[in-house]
Chain A
Amino acid sequence: GIQVEQSPPDLILQEGANSTLRCNFSDSVNNLQWFHQNPWGQLINLFYIPSGTKQNGRLSATTVATERYSLLYISSSQTTDSGVYFCAVDRDSGTYKYIFGTGTRLKVLA
């Protein structure tokens, strides 16, 4: 089946720093989402981005589907950005079930 790898697995930042999270996938995909799982376990939608570039405030994302990767950029990080960031993809199979990456655990220090 499709493999989804995220890097880095863990990241510690000082407040105000920028970072780039990466998601590599091993096969063509139909849909791709980035989620932030907060410390209470809630999955929060960040971007639905099967291709192209999107921006939302301090966050932006780029997916290059032909090269099978997506990037999530966090600028001017805040302590509230702490948590786990997941990339999820679904194969062009018509069932739309997501395969999740292993996540990047981010801790932002004040």
Chain B
Amino acid sequence: GAGVSQSPSNKVTEKGKDVELRCDPISGHTALYWYRQSLGQGLEFLIYFQGNSAPDKSGLPSDRFSAERTGGSVSTLTIQRTQQEDSAVYLCASSSGQSSYEQYFGPGTRLTVT
């Protein structure tokens, strides 16, 4: 595609429910990243994929958070048993991972846990 896309753009869920957030990277980009931005804050790294493998999961805040990537393309970030502190904008980025490591960001998913 022309850019990184994410869905849904907004998600409101009740505390304790599971949510799935989707990221479609730029076609051909092998590297994919998830970040989180809480209200008025900077961005916090969550997880990095190279192809389908995740060599760096160091930013995942708890074992309620998991992510996968299939076919070297689409990635899904899953949050189980959501808590109010999970409310944030979740941003996905991709880079070619080869000739350049410049990251391109999607529009984000705004998650609100009530």
Give A residues with C-beta under 8 Å from B. 30-31, 33, 35, 40-43, 45, 48, 86, 88, 90, 95-103
Contacts and interface: CB of A to CB of B under 8 A. Distances in A.
Contact of B101 (A40, A41, A96): A96
A97 B33 contact: yes
Contacts, number: 55
Interface of B: 31, 33, 35, 42-45, 48, 55-56, 59, 89, 91, 95, 97, 100-105, 107-108, 110
Interface of A is mostly: strand
A84 B43 CA distance: 12
Nearest to A35: B105
Given A43-B91, A95-B48, A95-B55, A86 B104 contact: no
